[in-house]
Amino acid sequence: MSVGGILMLLVALIYAYFGKKIFYTAIFLAGGTVGGMTGYTLFSKMGSMPPLWQIIGAIILFIVFGVIAILLFNIMVVIIGGIIGFAIGILIFNSLLIALLLAVIIAILSIFLFKFALGIITAIQGAMIAYWALNMLSISSNISLIIAIIIAVTGSLFQIGLFGMGGMEEKSRSNQNP
């Protein structure tokens, strides 16, 4: 048994069933890691700066880049929605006016639909990771594919709250705010 395959499968299951809850944390950590590494490299090149200040600078840039990653991600969701709407308007209707209207409408809808779709997206991504992890564990491709499909479906249902307790915190919040 491959330890890497087992760890990869564990990460896949966490992402498939709880990806919606950890998504923004993962984006913050990814952006923060880039910022922290950049900061430490930059500050370590300044020969006169004491090591403690290099670390403090890296931590500050970690936080700044993490926040920027989250802010830019939310903006990108709107931009991508607008691009999709514009493309639909041009390709299907061949009208600049309709393309601009669809760009605005789908950009606005993407703000509201993203949180719903996020559970499905992360469940599918987790299932894809699980498929590769199972292959690393020498499970046949056909069985791995069947398991991955089951993970994608149950992970999606769990995260949107139709199966299990995945969406219960959102349901309880909506019940509190009539």
Domain with 93 in it: 3-176
- Identify whether the C-beta of residue 150 lies closer than 8 Å to the C-beta of residue 13: no
Give the span between the Cα atoms of 111 and 99, in whole angstroms. 19
pLDDT at 177: 54
pLDDT at 13: 93
Greatest extent of the chain over all pairs of C-alpha atoms, in Å: 62
In the block, tokens 């669809």 appear at 102
Q: Which residues of the chain have pLDDT under 70?
A: 1, 163-178
pLDDT at 30: 84
Q: Tell me how many domains the chain contains.
A: 1
pLDDT at 174: 53
Cβ-Cβ contacts under 8 Å for 176 (sequence gap 6 or more): none
Give the span between the Cα atoms of 126 and 18, in whole angstroms. 10
Task: Provide the residue type at 28 as one letter.
Answer: F
